[in-house]
Amino acid sequence: MVGRQSRVPRSGVIPTGRSRFVCSSFHSYRIPGPGKSPSLNSVKTMSSRWAEHQSSMARRFFLATILQAVVCLLLALGLGFVCGAPPQTDRIRLPAAFQFGTAFLAVGSYFLHVSRKHVQLERQPEFRRALMLALIFAILFVGVQSFGLWGFMKSTRDYQNPQLNTHGFVFMFTALHAMHFLVAQSVLLWVTLAAFYDRYDHEYYFGVTFATWFWHALGIAWLAILWVFSVAS
């Protein structure tokens, strides 16, 4: 068996000494000689790479957070410059930006769910790609949502004193959701950075699970806010 190529079906298990090598799908693996464990070596390599960059993660996360905030701000300002403020009205109308934001939220939720499936099957390139796509849609959601909040405020006749009308009630719910989503976006950013330094594998992916379900929970909360919109209008 030394040096031979062996094809192992999905969820197949190869016992190698103390550890087991779990295969994610039909791939070719080179089975080493006695006393060698590919899974143990790979885990050591991944954990050592994570340990080497763990001390610099805080600095990288801080810089990435600033860059992410700048992109979101530029996107919101660009939309405001191109589209302008909507006309003022006494009625509550769902901004078109919120409709696009809902689509971005749904697509990002899908990619996060897919990324969790990939890491469970040890598909690292696909896992990281799905995380990056989820992060991109999170940035799009925050930028578009910020523009939508600005337009919603401007469309209120008495926007300087919004607590006197129903616009203020809906605005408060939307703003609170945006604040919570910023936390979820920060969690996703950390998980994405850690994923590129081999933090997660098929044995440990708690951060991915947490970010996924946090995103799903905020998606459900956003659907509830849309329901409040429909009732208020």
Q: Categorize the per-residue pLDDT at 166 as very low, low, confident or very high, splitting at 50, 70 and 90.
A: low
Cα–Cα–Cα angle for 67, 69, 171, nearest 5°?
170
Where along the chain do its domains lie?
5-46, 56-232
Q: Categorize the per-residue pLDDT at 48 as very low, low, confident or very high, splitting at 50, 70 and 90.
A: low
DSSP state of 196: T
Tokens of 193: 């950075």
CATH class of 56-232: mainly alpha
Residue 7 has pLDDT above 70, yes or no: no
CB-based contacts of 42, cutoff 8 Å, min separation 6 = none
Q: Categorize the per-residue pLDDT at 165 as very low, low, confident or very high, splitting at 50, 70 and 90.
A: low
What integer pLDDT is reported at residue 53 of this predicted model?
65
CB-based contacts of 223, cutoff 8 Å, min separation 6 = none
DSSP state of 164: G
Q: Categorize the per-residue pLDDT at 45 as very low, low, confident or very high, splitting at 50, 70 and 90.
A: low
pTM of the model as a whole: 0.71
Residues linked to residue 20 through DSSP beta bridges, in sequence order: 15
Q: Are 188 and 138 in contact (CB under 8 A)?
A: yes
More reliable by pLDDT, 224 or 233: 224
Q: Are 56 and 74 in contact (CB under 8 A)?
A: no
